[in-house]
């Protein structure tokens, strides 16, 4: 029990620290907006709307949040500016709780078949390979047998990078030489993983834009080839988004999911950016669930996304 408490504390600290910039940015703007005012009125709500939009929450989600707060102000007649932070926190949490995806609170995998195959996709430099390394670490820590596939054969450095992660975490990496067919690497990885009784397979891929037809076809080929080894594969297509790009991340998620099936999202680099509000917008607007968040470059800096914890942490620094 004590040990779980310790993990929980560490996790919370990483989340709090990672969201510090976003939080400070939002609440310093908010403090300025309510300075010298005692009551939440239309002017304060206008300012709040602007603050949320400039914090990358996105227009549609911002409008929903403002409507909720307007309703509340109308209902309660008088709402003091001192209460505004708490009201905002509660309304954002309530809004996110309305969306249909459930949060995951552990690293369990479906038990009816194995290996569970995760194909990791996204544009260049968003954090795909790093996220794979961190996921491998978490799954291994949870007692799973993990296999990695180096299907980004575009650059020699890519194969090397995932091999380093494999060594660091202590899990096997299936690879071929640079320039090899990524589908062939994926095939080999699934075969090895299956033959060795792996629980989970993570396949790295080269960065690609949703509008590059050749690269999107390559993705389709990777998926088709996987099915020859495991008919249900991939179990999860994980789209990685760089949270520090704010609204760009949002657009990428929309566009990618229009051209290929995406099952889950990882939003990385939330540490060191003030644009963390984008997680709120993405979680509210998109049908694809945010499953993981990246809060640093280290092995332990990936967490399962939990809506309530996220919102609480964001409001911790107010």
Contacts with Mg ion, residue ranges (CB under 5 A): 128-129
Query: Measuring CA to CA, how many Å separate 85 from each of 23, 43, 89, 316?
Result: 11, 16, 6, 10
- Shorter beta-carbon distance to Mg ion: residue 128 or 134: 128
State the nearest-atom distance from the C-beta of 231 to ligand GTP, in Å: 28
- Sign for the CA dihedral angle at 203, 206, 210, 216 comes to negative
Place of tokens 């076809």: 217
Q: Which of residues 132-161 bind ligand GTP (CB under 6 A)?
A: 152, 158
Question: Which backbone phi and psi does 131 adopt, to 5 degrees?
Answer: -65, -40
* Contact stretch for ligand GTP (CB under 6 A) within 3-11, 51-59, 123-131, 171-179: 123-131
CB 269 within 8 A of CB 301: no
Helix intervals (H) in the chain: 2-18, 20-34, 42-54, 59-76, 84-97, 128-141, 156-169, 182-195, 213-229, 247-259, 278-285, 307-314
Site string for ligand GTP, 257-296 (x = CB under 6 A): -----------xx-xx---------------------xxx
* Count of H-run helices and E-run strands, the chain: 12, 8
Q: Does 64 bind ligand GTP (CB under 6 A)?
A: no
Q: Does 207 bind ligand GTP (CB under 6 A)?
A: yes
State the nearest-atom distance from the C-beta of 136 to Mg ion, in Å: 14
CA atoms within 13 A on the CB side of 164: 9
Total of residues contacting ligand GTP (CB under 6 A): 20
Q: Does 125 bind ligand GTP (CB under 6 A)?
A: yes
Q: Does 246 bind ligand GTP (CB under 6 A)?
A: no
Q: Does 218 bind ligand GTP (CB under 6 A)?
A: no
State the nearest-atom distance from the C-beta of 128 to Mg ion, in Å: 5
Tokens of 145: 């047998």
- Residues contributing to the site for ligand GTP (CB under 6 A): 122, 124-130, 152, 158, 207, 268-269, 271-272, 294-297, 301
């Amino acid at each position: 029990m004590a040990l779980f408490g310790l993990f929980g504390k560490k996790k919370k600290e990483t989340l709090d620290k990672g969201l510090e910039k976003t939080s400070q940015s939002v609440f310093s703007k908010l403090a300025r907006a309510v300075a010298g005012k005692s009551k939440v009125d239309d002017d304060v709500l206008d300012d709040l709307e602007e603050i949320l939009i400039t914090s990358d929450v996105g227009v549609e989600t911002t409008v929903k949040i403002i409507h909720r707060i307007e309703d509340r102000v109308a209902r309660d007649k008088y709402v003091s500016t001192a209460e505004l932070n708490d009201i905002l926190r509660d309304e954002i949490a309530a809004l996110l709780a309305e969306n249909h995806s459930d949060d995951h609170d552990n690293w369990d995998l479906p038990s009816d078949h194995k290996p569970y195959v995760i194909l990791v996709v996204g544009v260049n430099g968003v954090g795909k390979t790093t996220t794979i390394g961190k996921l491998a670490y978490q799954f291994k820590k949870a007692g799973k047998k993990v296999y990695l596939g180096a299907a980004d054969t575009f650059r020699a450095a890519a194969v090397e990078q995932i091999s380093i992660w494999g060594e660091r975490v202590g899990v096997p990496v299936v690879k071929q030489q640079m320039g090899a067919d990524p589908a062939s690497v994926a095939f080999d990885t699934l075969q090895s993983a299956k033959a060795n009784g792996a629980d989970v397979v993570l396949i790295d891929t080269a960065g690609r834009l949703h509008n590059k037809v050749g690269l999107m076809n390559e993705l389709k080929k990777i998926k088709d080839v996987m099915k020859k080894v495991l008919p249900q594969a991939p179990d999860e297509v994980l789209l990685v988004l760089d949270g520090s790009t704010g609204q760009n991340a949002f657009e990428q998620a929309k566009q990618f999911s229009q051209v290929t099936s995406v099952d889950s999202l990882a939003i990385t680099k939330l540490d060191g950016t003030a644009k963390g509000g984008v997680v709120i917008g993405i979680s509210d607007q998109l049908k694809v669930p945010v499953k993981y968040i990246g809060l640093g470059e280290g092995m332990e800096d990936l967490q399962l996304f939990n809506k309530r914890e996220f919102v609480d942490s964001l409001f911790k620094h107010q």
